Amino acid sequence: MKLTLKVWRQKNKEAKGEFKTYQADHVSTDMSFLEMLDVLNTSLIKKGEDPIHFDHDCREGICGMCSLYINGHPHGPLQTTTCQLHMRTFKDGETITIEPWRAGAFPVIKDLVVDRTAFDRIQQAGGYVSVNTGGVPDANVIPIPKKVADEAFDAAACIGCGACVAACKNASAMLFVSAKVSQFALLPQGHAERKERVEKMVAQMDAEGFGSCTNTKACEAECPKGISVTNIARMNREYLSAMFTNYKVEVGGGGD
């Protein structure tokens, strides 16, 4: 099939970007969206034009590296990652507009590549259980109800792609942050630090310049892993509880 592609091109972070239009002929319906771009890039290189830069890695929908805002949807019209989107989803002759994720917290690096390290910094603020390697109890010491483990898994399935931010009209990162907060709020292993965790992660989220959640649920609808907004409610709960009950204790140093 034949397609017209309107692609955002931007030389670097500082440069002003613009849309460029390309014709993609001989597109096979079995191609993945990224393979279609690969083929286009090969033809660009042959013409001596700079290929379109886009992030991708595993190409099996799990690493979260691919992005692209396709025809008004993060990862395109299906609820999946761009690498798992296949051209059979599109119609012959269609015009496809491809934009980078747009958010102040995700600056464009080049073309369709954006900087998502804000997500890493949020995780660094508290997205962990503070245990060192070794010296932990046997894995079966704490039984966890299957239901709880399953729910924790559902939250943990987040791939950190940023589609929630891209989809949200407020560029809010609530779904992403709440997924991690939920995972550890559900599992007993996370309970020791639950209050500090949610406070620190929310503070970092705010510091990165993401917008606030207004419960539009666009994130949930576009999340390739189907992360539920139930997690956002859980995070709100965690945050409220921390805000009203958490306190600081000063510990003296020294010892014998």
Residues 132-191 touching other proteins, rule: CB under 8 A, are 132-134, 136-140, 142-146, 149-150, 152-153, 156-157, 159-160, 167, 169-172, 174, 183-184, 187, 189-190
- Nearest approach in angstroms of CB 2 to other proteins is 15
The one-letter amino acid at 178: S
| Site for other proteins contains 210 (CB under 8 A) | yes
Dihedral angle over CA of 114, 119, 121, 125, nearest 10? 170
Residue 127 near residue 38 (C-beta atoms within 8 A): no
Q: Specify the residue, 47 or 256, whose C-beta has the smaller distance to other proteins.
A: 47
The CA distance from 69 to 161, in Å, is 12
Residues numbered 8 to 27 that lie near other proteins (CB under 8 A) are 11-12, 19
- Nearest approach in angstroms of CB 254 to other proteins is 17
The CA distance from 83 to 222, in Å, is 15
The CA distance from 56 to 66, in Å, is 4
| Site for other proteins contains 51 (CB under 8 A) | yes
The one-letter amino acid at 135: G
| Site for other proteins contains 206 (CB under 8 A) | yes
| Site for other proteins contains 196 (CB under 8 A) | no
Tell me which of 7, 125, 175, 227 binds other proteins, using CB under 8 A.
125
| Site for other proteins contains 230 (CB under 8 A) | yes
Tell me which of 14, 48, 91, 253 binds other proteins, using CB under 8 A.
48
Tokens of 118: 């804000």
| Site for other proteins contains 214 (CB under 8 A) | yes
- Nearest approach in angstroms of CB 243 to other proteins is 5
The CA distance from 64 to 84, in Å, is 11
Residues numbered 72 to 111 that lie near other proteins (CB under 8 A) are 72-73, 77-78, 80, 84, 86, 88, 97, 99, 102-105, 109-110
- Nearest approach in angstroms of CB 42 to other proteins is 6
The HSE-up count of residue 110 (CA atoms within 13 Å, CB side) is: 8
Q: What is the DSSP letter of 211?
A: B
Tell me which of 5, 56, 68, 194 binds other proteins, using CB under 8 A.
56
Report which secondary-structure segment, H or E, holds 240. helix 230-245
Q: Specify the residue, 93 or 132, whose C-beta has the smaller distance to other proteins.
A: 132
Q: Specify the residue, 196 or 254, whose C-beta has the smaller distance to other proteins.
A: 196
Q: What is the DSSP letter of 86?
A: B
| Site for other proteins contains 53 (CB under 8 A) | yes
Q: Is 78 helix (H, G, I), strand (E, B) or coil?
A: coil
The one-letter amino acid at 239: Y
